[in-house]
Amino acid sequence: MTDETPDVVSRARAALDGITPGEWWVFKQSERHDDDPEWVIESNGGPSSDNPIGVVGHGVEQGEVDATFIAAAPDLVRDLLAEVDRLRQQPVELSASMLADAVKAEAERDKARAAVMRVIAACVDADLESVAFMGEPGVVMTTVIRRALDGEA
């Protein structure tokens, strides 16, 4: 989409701008023959009832369906625009939530990394030969590692 081509939302808003206000409805024009009736679309916001929004023919069933759709179109377009506006706000909310989760995960990763580095440093600093004379190396190293994880090393 280029700047010259408005998106569908802009086109829909422009199409609604200036239409006959008020509720639109359909009625069957009585002076026509029943085998080919005309369906009239009117609004209580129009200039007068002598000037309908539109007249649709095309046979009994199809004309009524088309006229009913045309009469419903303004409200349908308004409702769809409201839904688009709502959904366009949602990704921003989801992105903020996902960003907060990512920041929390990074902090937990950094905390774990720091704990591992403390354990490595404590193990390097431990004099394994002297530890071996004081007791079992596994038990002593377990103590060194636990203290390092607790931040005491």
pLDDT in tens, 37-85: 788 888 876 555 566 888 887 666 788 888 889 999 999 999 999 999 8
pLDDT of residue 1: 45
**% of the chain at pLDDT higher than 90:** 24
And the tokens for 23? 């509720």
pLDDT of residue 108: 95
CA distance 28 to 30: 6
Question: Which has more confidence, 13 or 2?
Answer: 13
Question: Which pTM does this prediction carry?
Answer: 0.53
- Integer CA distances (angstroms), 105 to 99, 102, 108, 114, 151, in order: 10, 5, 5, 14, 21
- In 3D, which of 82, 103, 100 has the Cα closest to residue 92? 100
- What is the 8-class DSSP label of residue 50? T
Tell me if 106 is assigned to some domain: yes
Tell me if 1 is assigned to some domain: no
Cα-based angle 77, 83, 84 (whole degrees, multiple of 5): 90
147: exposed, middle or buried (Cβ count in 10 Å: 0-12, 13-18, 19+): middle
Which residues, listed in sequence order, are joined to residue 19 by a DSSP beta bridge?
A: none
Please tell me the total count of domains within the chain. 1
- Return the number of other C-beta atoms located less than 10 Å from residue 68's C-beta: 16
> Which of 22-26, 63-67, 104-108, 117-121 comes out lowest in average pLDDT?
117-121
pLDDT of residue 145: 77
Q: Which domain holds residue 26?
A: 8-149
Work out the mean pLDDT of the chain and round it to a whole number.
79
Question: Which has more confidence, 112 or 2?
Answer: 112
